[in-house]
Amino acid sequence: MTAPVTGADRDPAQHRPVGTHTPTSGGLAKAALPYVDAAGSEVVQVYVSNSRGWALPPGDPVQDALFREGCAERGVPVFIHASLLVNLGSPTAATVERSAATLAHALRRGTAIGARGVVFHAGSAVDAGHAEAAMRQVREALLPLLDAAGDAGGPMLLVEPSAGGGRSLASRVEQLGPYLDAVDGHPMLGVCFDTCHAWAAGHDLAAEGGMTATLDVLVATVGAERLRLVHANDSKDLCGSTRDRHENIGKGTIGEPAFAELMRHPATAGVPVVVETPTEKHVGHAADVATLKRLRP
Ligand SMILES: [Zn+2]
């Protein structure tokens, strides 16, 4: 078993905890906590509903409490990834409604398990003619959720720019500007930066200084304090491909030097870093976690 993370030996403001998206089937605490230990995780991300479905399970209070306490004991912050079907920009009204209900559910579950943030994809307008209406939908759906999250003192919502294509509402980091504007810069909306998505959307992270320059643009667009989570994923595809196929850190087209820049950029100081890479059991994840820890200053 991996020793609990104390962070006692480093400046907490600079610490970049590293962890993984973590499976939960069989019980939140029962499945996830051993995985956290085996992977050497210092942060954990979980689904609280089927990633490809709309069902909204209530959760098991016993597992919730054990998980919350287990993560607190280990000093491991918790993040939820909302269902991948969520699209607040959809031209289909039922999808927008289900998306908002899914986010409300994830926020409630986040409060129950002590999560810091709920990640959701920025979404897409799907049809060229729907772009303006899509941003209005984002505003109408998000504002009440963000207000409620603020009142509850619960987790923040974290928007994750997508890999691009399909009339994405935000894939390049500059597009986070209009997205934040759509909710009047609400303080409960943060950003999750996914390296594979940014690469797919055309940010050349593999060029020397490319990761640094992209994070500089993110900071210039929304401010460093908006960045609350990083998804560190290498890619199987080329820059600008709009394809979202993750690869283990240093084994893909982005390459290890870019992740070294990521782990040293001042904008990531104090920001948790989660891998969502391919793995057999925890093995690939443990290797990726170890690599990112090694790349920390
Ligand atoms: Zn991601």
- Residues 42-71: tens digit of each pLDDT: 999 999 999 999 999 999 999 999 999 999
Of the given ranges (57-61, 111-115, 127-131, 188-192), which has the lowest mean pLDDT?
127-131
Residue 112: which residues within 8 A CB-CB, separation 6 or more? 59, 61, 64, 68
At 143 the pLDDT is 98
Q: Is residue 1 scored above 80 in pLDDT? A: no
What average pLDDT score do residues 73-100 get? 97
* Ligand 1 midpoint to CA 168 (Å): 15
Question: What residues flank ion ligand 1 with Cβ within 5 A?
Answer: 194, 231
* Ligand 1 midpoint to CA 160 (Å): 7
At 14 the pLDDT is 67
At 10 the pLDDT is 42
* Ligand 1 midpoint to CA 275 (Å): 8
* Ligand 1 midpoint to CA 153 (Å): 25
Q: Is residue 15 scored above 90 in pLDDT? A: no
Q: How far apart are CA 293 and CA 117, in angstroms?
A: 22
Q: How far apart are CA 152 and CA 172, in angstroms?
A: 31
* Ligand 1 midpoint to CA 46 (Å): 12
At residue 173 the predicted structure's pLDDT band, cuts being 50, 70 and 90, is: very high
Average pLDDT score over the chain:
94
Q: Is residue 152 scored above 60 in pLDDT? A: yes
* Ligand 1 midpoint to CA 140 (Å): 24
